[in-house]
Structure 1
Amino acid sequence: MPATTHGSNPELRSPLLPPTDSKKSAGYSEPEMVSIDEMLQRYCGEFGPWQLRHFVLTSLAWALEAFHTMVMIFADREPDWRCTDGSGCGSPSTSVCGLGPGLWEWVGGLESSTVAEWGLFCGEKYKVGVVQAIFFGGCMIGAGIFGHLSDSFLGRKGSLTVVCLLNTIFGCLTAVSPNYWIYVLLRLLTGFSTGGVGLCAFVLANEPVGPTKRGSTGMSTFYFFSTGIALLSGIAYIFPEWRALYIASSIPSFLFLVIVIPFLSESPRWYLVRGRINDAMKLMSDIATTNGKDLPDGVILALDEETSHDDVSRGHALTCKEQQPETKDAVTGSIIDVIRSPLTRIRLFLAVAINLLCSVVYYGLSLNVVNLETNIYMNVLLNAVAEMPAFTITALMLDRYGRKPLAIGTLWFSGFFCFSGSLMKNVGLWKVVRMVCGVLGIFGMAGTYNLLFIYTAELFPTVVRNAALGCATQAAQMGAILAPFVVVLGGGLPFAVFAACGVAAGVLGFYLPETMDQPLYDTFTGMVNRGCASTV
């Protein structure tokens, strides 16, 4: 069971239910105790104008994550070079590693990228990989920390506010890095804050949505990430110098902080598990009013372990309610509680393993696409646009076939084409076939990678949802760290590794439960046995 903390808030000391005997004699009717999912379905609306506005505004944060994550593609790229006048150094197809100083120069000057300014090429090229690994390492740490903080006292909105502020500060400071090692440190710090953006925005955007609409809206959040990548390619084209690019890609975080966040609402589920019943009820009333519905009197929000759902259990539930204290305490939990519970422990292990394997394939295939000899700005734009059909198809199939079959199917779809690509030689027509296999592989994995956010969020109760999602995100970041090392294997080996990861992740998916049309449980008790009646 999760631990509870006692607060001093006056509303926590107000009785949830009045004394039954005296009130019943005066004609008092028993209040209806309902969960948030039930209230959304029956009285407030699952996805009306309120949820649409809240969803769009919150999901804009995904574009910010794309800016801070993918900016390294442009800032740390190796620019084109050319021979200086009269040097006779040869053609740009030869390597600069054997050329002496003064015989060649970078196109765009030393300011075009960190590689040009700090000499991160030839024998120093590994330092580019170090920066990228350090960034994802920071994301891994930040995902765990902010996942916990958003479940505890900071809340979803508070955590999102903090990470956007930190992203603005660290992103702008990166632009004035005096040397490589300060640059590495600031990328680590930027990664730390970036790691909390996506998971906080995802949970905050989707928790007020009803159960039958949550799948499609959850998948829709990732259009914002892909759109952010597409916009970044345009920003990088306008600001070709890496220092100016870091400032230009960090300013949107500040604008989001001052223009968007003040209009966002905290999650009603977080209010409920923290014992702030009045705040949760007020927010649900606002949702109903904005959606053109009416929240009737006598309906009270309750944790799923306190609600009843049939006439037989209602008698038991009332007995349990009568035994409840008049003080409503906050219910909290941590990743330790997830590990202690046999039910959630195995779910966490599977979610972590699947996210790690999926991330190796997703980022690995993405890096292979970026290495194509094409215009880098157009290439990144096309790569982002190519992912969007996968989101659309997955969203359409999500609530029809379920999370589990779709996750397994897309993982094996990607694994099949990666395996096919590993059999193709990188010459002639076979090179084109391998490229097509890679495109189809990332098409399948893009859908899976984003579906896992929805699936993972639905596998755990509200008290630990962000903490568990943070762990899964940490695992995904570890996969992102490993992906470049797989790519450098060369030949067909990367495709073979990606195929093995996709197939293995699909096998693990068989051991997860289906969550389609299931409620988002609030507590461990509600997940294990729903309501007091089940324990009687």
Structure 2
Amino acid sequence: MSENFPSECSRPNDPDLHRPLLGQDESASVNLSERLCVDDMLQKFCGEFGRWQLRHFVLTSMAWALEAFHTMVVIFADREPAWRCTSGGTAGCSAAAKSVCELEPGSWEWIGGGGSSTVAEFGLVCGQKYKVGLVQALFFGGCMIGAGVFGHLSDSKLGRKGSLMVVCILNAIFGCLTALSPDYYTYALFRLLTGFSTGGVGLCAFVLATEPVGPTKRGIAGMSTFYFFSAGIAVLSGVAYIFRSWRALYVASSIPSILFLVIILPFVSESPRWCLIRGKTKRAMKIMRQIAKSNGNDIPDGVTLALDEEASETPDKYTDRASDKTELESKEAVTGSLVDVLRSPLTRIRLFLAVGINFLCSIVYYGLSLNAVNLGTNLYLNVLLNAVAEMPAYLLTALLLDKYGRKPLAIGTQWFSGAFCIAGALLKGYGIWKTIRMVCGVLGIFGMAGTYNLLFIYTIELFPTVVRNAALGCATQAAQMGAILVPFIVVLGDGIPFLVFGVCGALGGFLAFYLPETLNRPLYDTMAGMEDGETDRAGSCSI
């Protein structure tokens, strides 16, 4: 990077750079005083988190509640209801039996009827119990595929907003069709398809909500997106309490996706960063001017957006490019894929670490959530308490994020969660110990919720815009792969799940040691811009 320029992304206002040559038509000249990357323009002229960003952030982040509905609905839809002896079958029924598998057929009945859950209606008990874990694994398998597909589409043709619209449409369709499933296999198919669309909701909403936010506010904003996910779980517990039929519950949990499409999404803007890397400079500048105007600011004439690698060009090259106004206003799209991430040594190791940490954290987070069925207390209350326990974790992590950095928090929160999970594995599952184990579970999810939230903001800062959603999609795929294993861990019962969760938390903390700190680092646009920026940073640190 040339030492003549004080900013990493901006260029000084030097009229000599843009003065037309002798004899050249004045009207044909381009009066560009400054070329800025998105972060610099937000900081200098638009505002990092003003009225526009707040409104856009809240509206976009509401999609996280939709993901919570479609992900956690199985806790209630696939639960095993309570049972009771029938009046005519007391001879073959004993209330002291631990399971209906010990009773004679016809001597007992489900409380709430056969339509209260899929377990009751499809007979998923005794030798068929594995099918409950299988359908949950299929859902997360669909999420893994969908995260990769929509991660790529949101970086390329569809964009962030377009991808979010598609996944919400699919979620509404598949969710309602699930309620019409005539048998278990149709039900499993629709859960797989719902997982496919759900896999793209969170990552598209997160990136779309945080990319227009300035660098010093992005960390807190990113951490705040998960409040909407936890709130969605809390609301779902209330909805499930009202709609006790699993079919009615699936319809009730799918309707919000339709409402989001019709009422919320029309007021959401596309990401200016995506517009910029796709060569839609005019559209990106229009959005930036809207941000500035809504925040009570103004972008001066002659100031325009540039990719970080273009903003760091030498003066001579910049002057040559400035002579072509058409090129500046509509450039070819800059593309990237996971192949580019793997080809670069800088991003390759980051991707491997992000994948490993997301995989381990997902096992702990989803495991502790689904393990509520093993705690032997009120299911609706347990789910509500777990959701509420996550919220203080988000607040605490957000407050500490910009003070201590991403890396120390990623290590500390995972070890905190792992320690309480291991403690829970050492406790008995009855009497007072059962209550203490429940507390360990709540504290475990408290720590891992902070990690899971932190990983999103950490991951988008580790990769440039051109491959950001693809990399985040890959990390999300790893998380879903870990979630696939969770149902089979949970069915082991007793203290084994807690032990597995504790070990995963400890290993995730060790992997985080090898990630770089991204606090106060710019959000790069291209692979070349990131490599140049990190090279300059390494050179500065070595001096």
TM-score (norm 2): 0.90
| Aligned pair partner of 1:212 in 189, 213, 216 | 216
Q: Select which of 371, 374, 377 maps to 1:374.
A: 377
- C-alpha distance after superposition, 1:83-131 (max 9, x if no partner): 1114212216542113223211111111111111111111111111110
Does the 8 Å contact 2:231/2:387 carry over to 1?
yes
The one-letter code sitting in structure 2 at the alignment partner of 1:226 is: S
Name the counterpart of 1:56: 58
Question: RMSD in angstroms over aligned alpha carbons?
Answer: 2.3
Which residue number in structure 2 is paired with residue 37 of structure 1? 39
Q: Secondary structure at the match of 2:35?
A: strand
Q: Which is further off, 27-36 or 239-248?
A: 27-36
The alpha carbon displacement at 1:379 in A equals 1.8
Cα distance in 2 for partners of 1:427, 1:119 equals 28
* TM score, norm. by length of structure 1: 0.91
The question of whether the paired residues in 1 share the 8 Å contact of 2:18 and 2:30 is answered with: no
Secondary structure of the 2:304 match is strand
Correspondence for 1:134 among 130, 138, 159: 138
Indicate the SS of the match to 2:301. Answer: coil
What CA deviation, in whole Å up to 9, does each residue of 1:404-427 have, x standing for no partner? 111111111112222333333445
- Partner of residue 96, structure 1: 100
| Alpha-carbon spacing, 1:462–1:411, altered in 2? closer, same or farther (3 Å) | same
Q: Aligned AA for 2:346? A: L
Whole-angstrom CA distance in 2 between matches of 1:420 and 1:99:
36
Amino acid at match of 2:522: P
Question: Match for residue 5 of structure 1?
Answer: none
- CA drift of 1:143 comes to 0.3
Q: Distance in 2 between matches of 1:413 and 1:438?
A: 12
Following the alignment from structure 1 to structure 2, what is the Cα–Cα distance between the partners of residues 442 and 283? Answer: 38
Please give the per-residue CA displacement for 1:322-372, whole angstroms capped at 9, x wherever unaligned.
Answer: 698953111011111111111111111000000001111111222233422
Kindly report which structure 2 residues correspond to 1:7-46, keeping only aligned pairs within 5 A, or say none: 21=21, 30-46=32-48
Q: 1:98 to 1:496 in 2, by over 3 A?
A: closer
Q: 1:30 to 1:50 in 2, by over 3 A?
A: closer
The Cα offsets for residues 236-258 of structure 1, whole Å up to 9 and x where unpaired, read as 11111111111111111011111
**Could you tell which deviates more after superposition, 366-375 or 468-477?**
366-375
Residue 481 of structure 1 is aligned with which of 458, 480, 484? Answer: 484
Distance 1:422 1:103, change over 3 A: closer
SS at match of 1:21: coil
The answer for the alignment partner of 1:447 in structure 2 is: 450
1:300 aligns with 2:304: yes
Task: Give 1:70-219 correspondences, 5 Å limit.
Answer: 70-88=72-90, 89-91=93-95, 93-219=97-223
Is 1:435 the counterpart of 2:428 in the alignment?
A: no
Residue 420 of structure 1 is matched in structure 2 by: 423
CA distance in 2, matches of 1:488, 1:380: 18
Aligned to 2:518: 515
- Identical aligned residues as a percent: 71
SS of 1:105's partner is: strand
Matching residue of 1:361? 364
Structure 1 residues 32 and 533: alpha-carbon distance in aligned structure 2, compared to 1, 3 A threshold: farther
Distance 2:377 2:534 in 1: 59
- Structure 2 portions without partners, runs of 5+: 1-16, 538-543
CA distance in 1, matches of 2:24, 2:228: 53
- Note the C-alpha offset of 1:491: 4.2
1:341 matches 2:330: no
Contact 1:275 1:330 in 2 (8 A): yes
Whichever residue aligns with residue 372 of structure 1, its letter is L
Rate the CA distance shift 1:314–1:70 in 2: closer, same or farther, 3 A. same
Corresponding position: 1:504 with 2:507: yes
Equivalent pairs counted in the alignment come to 514
1:383 matched to 2:374? The reply is no
Gap change, CA 1:346 and 1:442, over 3 Å in 2: same
Structure 2 contact 63–202 (Cα < 8 Å) conserved: yes
Counterpart position of 1:3: none
Partner of 1:262: 266
Q: CA deviation at 1:399?
A: 1.0
Decide whether aligned partners of structure 1 residues 239 and 23 sit closer, same or farther in structure 2, where only a CA change above 3 A counts. farther
What CA distance in whole angstroms lies between the structure 2 residues aligned with 1:426 and 1:242? 29
Aligned-pair distance for 1:24?
9.3
Contact 1:81–1:106 (CA<8 Å) still a contact in 2?
yes
Q: Do 2:370 and 2:487's aligned partners in 1 also have CA atoms closer than 8 Å?
A: yes
Structure 1 regions of 5+ residues with no counterpart?
Answer: 1-16
Shift of 1:222: 0.4
When structure 1 is superposed on structure 2, of 169-178 and 81-90 the one drifting more is 81-90
Shift of 1:233: 1.1
Cα distance between partner residues in 2 of 1:429 and 1:531: 54
Q: Secondary structure at the match of 1:300?
A: strand
* Other-structure match for 1:8: none
2:57 counterpart letter in structure 1: F
Q: CA 1:281/1:181 → structure 2, altered by over 3 Å: closer, same or farther?
A: same
Letter of the 1:334 partner, please give it: S
Distance 1:253 1:330, change over 3 A: same
Relative distance call for 1:97 and 1:510 in structure 2 (3 A) is same
1:296 match: secondary structure: coil
Aligned counterpart for 1:457 among listed residues 447, 456, 460: 460
The aligned residue for residue 235 of structure 1 is: 239
